Amino acid sequence: MAASILRRSLLIPRCRAGDVAALHSGPSRRRAQAPEPIASGRRAGNCPAGERGVAPWVAVVGLEIHAQISSNSKLFSGSQVQFAAPPNSLVSFFDASLPGTLPALNRRCVEAAVMTGLALNCSINKKSLFDRKHYFYADLPAGYQITQQRLPVAVNGSLSYSLCVGGKKNQMVTRTVRIKQIQLEQDSGKSLHDDIRSQTLIDLNRAGVGLMEVVMEPDMSSGEEAAAAVRELQLILQTLGSSQAIMAEGQLRVDANVSVHHPGEAYGVRTEVKNINSARFLARAIDYEIQRQIKELENGGTVMNETRAFDYKLGCTIPMRDKEGKQDYRFMPEPNLPPLILYDTKSLPANTNHQQVVNIDWIRERLPDLPSVRRVKLVEQYGILPEHSFTLLNEDGLMEFFENVVRQTQMNPKKVIGWILNDMLGYLKQYNLKVKESPVSSLFLADLLNLLERGTISSSAANQVLEELWKGEGKTPLQIVKEKKLGLIQDQQELEQICQAVMEGHQEEVMEIKKGNQKVLNKLIGLVQRTTRGRADPVLVKQILEKRLSQ
Amino acid sequence: MLRVSLREISAALKEGRVSPTELCQRCLSFIKATKFLNAYITIAEDTALKQAEESEERYRRGQILGDLDGIPVAVKDNFNTAGIETTCASNMLKGYIPPYSATVVQKLLDQGAVLLGKTNLDEFAMGSGSTDGIFGPVRNPWSYSRQYREKSVQNSHIENEDSNWLVTGGSSGGSAAAVSSFTCFAALGSDTGGSTRNPAAHCGVVGLKPTYGLISRHGLIPLVNSMDVPGILTRCVDDAAIVLGVLAGHDPKDSTTVQDPFKPFELTSFIDASKLCIGIPKEYHAPGLSSETLALWSKAADLFENAGAKVIEVSLPHTRYSIVCYHVLCTAEVASNMARFDGLEYGHRSSMDKSTEVMYAATRREGFNDVVRGRILSGNYFLLKQNYETYFIKAQKVRRLIANDFVNVFRNGIDVLLTPTTLSDTIPYVEFIKEDNRTRSAQDDIFTQAANMAGLPAITVPTALSEKGLPIGLQFIGRAFQEQQLLTVAKWFENQVKFPMIQLQGMMDHGHTICHHQKSAFFS
């Protein structure tokens, strides 16, 4: 019904040009960021020294990340949450801010925020408050966003993340960024600009969807660090299920605060880089902005406190005409929502309806293993390298795939990991598929590795079988081995004949070996394998050749 | 028949002395006959008749929904009514037909009540006269009463009969006039600073503002969310209790309603006054309080004392800061609440469409009157970062002090506070408009809005007629969620004072006589 009300008034005059860029960033809030000195030698030298040979520059990067909460319904209304639904099909009366409607807090969203807060080592505020943040925008129907400005649900946490450093990027280091706070807030709708008709179309499907704004302190110093921190956060959110955190679908939106200064001096003026909507561009956008500021300052210019958008086509940041920045949001307590009270087992009053309360301890007890814990377990349990554990977790579903294969094969996990990370991952990348879309199931790969492990096939034959399996015709590895005759030739007589034939065809080599040059033996073995297309049992072949050559 | 109480008409319906359809038709024709009062913005004739027919069918089958089945009611035009225009007496919402009903409206309908129409008010309930809406001012039925007319002739300073009509008070003046002129048996108002009690007092009816959080605000187009409460206007205290029983209770759609289940109650006629402790707040001896009202207040105190109750003067020391504090908090929330009216999703939209901003500005200028725009402006000023601490935070602290004043008084054994509802009886429209809306609101809310600040239940009971022959009401303020105690005291008082019924026989060319013997008034 709301949709039909809206349809009539969907068309509104186009915003002025400057507004357009601002639209895509979704709600976000500027806050005073007191520079805090960070005693850390590693930061110096991360950026190149100035051209005139003065002290090197140090960059300071802080992040504000909006993560869309994975929930069936919106933060304050019963409308469904769904990506790419028909425009204005998921709009309740409240979402369209019809007069007289009131917010009713979604418990699931609170639990998601508490879960995320706990996973990020935050203190959970047993009492938090909701506020209204006012600004006029076409996709903000109430004229204000309900957020948590005064007292957010979680504060004072930390996030550890790892990245590869060193010239060859082969050394892993772990760093920590402080989490200032996590607040619950509403998402805005979306504006779609119709240039031909000079109109803006409003889609309110997203309006009112729950967001967690995670504010990271400026503890990072490069795009790479920021990207690694965001990636780790993304993994944590996905592990918790508190957000799907898919950047391409806007479920994770990152704004970066960037400034540069000389070590020992006060922090520089910071800019805010918005519109970073892919992990790939995050590092690039930040690094571009750091370099831009350094260049600006070295050329005698100044950095302005402004909002800049990252243009991924041009690969640079450009200033946004930003009225929002100068706007006074006229924050006010949200009078329609009582304080959000959370309990722990100790403070939980007797006779409470468990549907009505959120128990922090209950959530804590049910937290899944976080990525960092899973990685340690993988290394300990399977003896794989730490960097392998990162790759396993970074690819959605790959860890489970690996563990399933290990469970179904006799092959040593240290050998299995090679097949997973080199061969399987290679194919996945080549065909641009996700693990769950792989035509090769963990069972088939395990079967294949078992054939290899039992000596039924050679490793080169195994590669051929895998290639066949990727065609996705549903044949088992054993079927393929049989059809393609890829099984090892273990028949002594047959191998004797083949070896004999090879020796006869290569008298020179035979003479060499007989003279004592044993190295040439390998060539003969290779020739036998070529003849058999890799199917000959290499151990057997060597035995036969040695025996015959010594005769 | 129309002038009886809700309880009496309910009995008549049950006994078959009148049918819902007949009753509805009578009310509708009476609404038309009293159209000049301007009490109604929308008369929902078709749906009302349909609802009455359905009710009649239920009576026929002996399956009525409740005490309200078949009873004609009216609702202030700032409550959403599905399918029926809801305007807030503003150009902004003129023609707006909401797709849903307010919880309180739905509860009335679920009980079988017949919704006659939507009553007039000040634009977005901002006012204390029911004079500042786009549909024009509401006229107080007492302007046409025999009681007032007779006195006016005696005083003889009235040249033109029609220019001397009186305001109802506000902002729920339409609802008060509707109940007072017998066009309905109960009406919903809203009460943010006194908007139900003020017009109820001026129109000689009972006006109840329940405890904040007892009744759902879902669907009430807000003025000040933290103070708004749906109000109940009826002819007597018993009727208010019946309607309260229907409306009260938790609503999942309004997170500020309390979870505790509400048990509807019936009021007893007799109380043991010796166990009662009545507080008389000394700060309510405010400048501008008419000597008549003061005298009446004092007589009422004596009445309780003579019945054996303890009557104690108490102090609510922060009362004098209440109005200015209310002004800051009210305008701030107004500024915020009105932000949604941008012409995009619903309501008025200006044809000026050069840019979104131009359209916003023009829409809001065309849609809101000066009063609304003025409050938005000052509210936004108070909320600016640089002013927030000085005004909003300070006002919130003062609000807490005001609320604590009441807590202290009730903690010290006071059961109910007795105060005037208004400074004096009502005045003619021509007098009223000599002051602007803001001044009037500040004056008229003086005794009522502290109860909103503290969220306490309060009820005005018509007490006596003034020298001019106009109603004066007194107010009882109770402990939070102690409606039963409050209403019991109010009913006892009501029984003692025997407020005279309005005599409107000259007002309409209606067949049946309204004439009724004036009951022996307790107060002259």
- Is the distance from CB of B313 to CB of B409 less than 8 angstroms? no
Bridge partners of A260, per DSSP, are: A59
Predicted local distance difference test score (pLDDT) of residue A350: 82
Chain B touched by A341 (CB under 8 Å) = no
Residue A217 is encoded by which pair of tokens? Answer: 């302190």
**Residues near B470 by Cβ (< 8 Å), separated by ≥ 6?**
B142, B147, B148, B166, B202, B425, B426
Per the CB < 8 Å rule, is B360 touching A336? no
Q: How far is B240 from chain A (nearest CA, A)?
A: 24
- Model confidence at A550, pLDDT cuts 50, 70, 90, reads confident
User: Residue B294 CB: number of other CB atoms within 10 A?
Assistant: 16
The predicted-structure confidence for B263-302, as pLDDT tens digits, reads as follows 999 999 888 889 999 999 999 999 999 999 999 999 999 9
Distance between CA atoms of residues A114 and A123, nearest Å = 9
The residue behind tokens 């977790």 is A393
Alpha-helical (H) ranges within B311-355 are 322-337
User: Residue A32 CB: number of other CB atoms within 10 A?
Assistant: 4
- Is the distance from CB of A198 to CB of A16 less than 8 angstroms? no
Full-model pTM: 0.88
The predicted-structure confidence for A336-363, as pLDDT tens digits, reads as follows 999 999 999 999 888 777 778 999 999 9
- Model confidence at B397, pLDDT cuts 50, 70, 90, reads very high
- Model confidence at B515, pLDDT cuts 50, 70, 90, reads very low
Chain B touched by A284 (CB under 8 Å) = no
Predicted local distance difference test score (pLDDT) of residue A36: 36
Distance between CA atoms of residues A144 and B462, nearest Å = 42
Lowest pLDDT segment from A318-322, A403-407, B197-201, B325-329: A318-322
The predicted-structure confidence for B432-451, as pLDDT tens digits, reads as follows 999 988 888 888 899 999 99
Q: How far is B223 from chain A (nearest CA, A)?
A: 10
- Is the distance from CB of B511 to CB of B30 less than 8 angstroms? no
Residue % of chain B over a pLDDT of 70: 94
Strand order of the β-sheet with A144-147 is A144-147, A131-134, A332-333
Per the CB < 8 Å rule, is B336 touching A332? yes
Question: If DSSP codes are grouped into helix, strand and coil, which group holds residue A532?
Answer: coil
Chain B touched by A6 (CB under 8 Å) = yes
Residues of B in contact with A134 (CB under 8 A): 336, 339, 383
The predicted-structure confidence for A7-50, as pLDDT tens digits, reads as follows 333 333 333 333 333 333 333 333 333 333 333 333 434 444 44
Overall average pLDDT of the B243-266 stretch? 96
Alpha-helical (H) ranges within B237-290 are 237-247
Instruction: Tell how strand B277-281 and strand B416-420 pair up.
Output: parallel
Per the CB < 8 Å rule, is B346 touching A132? no
- Model confidence at B507, pLDDT cuts 50, 70, 90, reads low
Residue A107 Cα distances to B254, B259, B432, angstroms: 15, 16, 50
Predicted local distance difference test score (pLDDT) of residue B70: 98
- Model confidence at A159, pLDDT cuts 50, 70, 90, reads very high
Instruction: Please indicate whether residue B76 is annotated as part of the active site.
Output: yes
Higher pLDDT among residues B71 and A166, named by residue: B71
- CA B437 to centroid of chain Cα atoms: 18
Name the maximum alpha-carbon separation found in chain A.
102
Residue A223 Cα distances to A40, A210, A231, A319, A506, angstroms: 17, 28, 12, 19, 60
- Is the distance from CB of A116 to CB of A212 less than 8 angstroms? yes
- DSSP label of A140: B
Averaged confidence pLDDT in chain A: 86
SS (H, E, C) A267-322: CCCCEEEEEECCHHHHHHHHHHHHHHHHHHHHCCCCCCCCEEEEECCCCEEEECCC
Distance between CA atoms of residues A27 and A185, nearest Å = 9
Residue % of chain B over a pLDDT of 90: 88
Distance between CA atoms of residues A156 and A81, nearest Å = 30
Chain B touched by A351 (CB under 8 Å) = no
Helix axes A442-453, A398-407, angle to 10 degrees: 40
Per the CB < 8 Å rule, is A93 touching B99? yes
Residues of A in contact with B222 (CB under 8 A): 99-100
Instruction: Tell how strand A144-147 and strand A131-134 pair up.
Output: antiparallel
The residue behind tokens 């003020």 is B198
Residue B102 Cα distances to A98, B47, B82, B253, angstroms: 12, 17, 8, 10
Q: Which residue of A has its CA nearest to B379?
A: A330
Predicted local distance difference test score (pLDDT) of residue B228: 98
Chain B touched by A1 (CB under 8 Å) = yes
Predicted local distance difference test score (pLDDT) of residue B293: 97
Chain B touched by A100 (CB under 8 Å) = yes
Instruction: Tell how strand A332-333 and strand A316-319 pair up.
Output: unpaired
The residue behind tokens 């009753």 is B23
Q: Which residue of B has its CA nearest to A20?
A: B356
Among residues B10, B19, B55, B76, the one annotated as catalytic is B76
Which residue of B79, B339, B360 is in closest CB contact with A142? B339
Task: Kindly state the helix (H) or strand (E) to which residue B471 belongs, with its residue range.
Answer: strand B471-478
Angle at A167 between CA A162 and CA A170, to 5 degrees: 45
- CA B243 to centroid of chain Cα atoms: 14
The amino acid at residue A278 is: S
Q: Which CATH superfamily is domain B6-279+419-443+455-516 in?
A: Amidase signature (AS) domain (3.90.1300.10)
Residues of B in contact with A144 (CB under 8 A): 336, 339
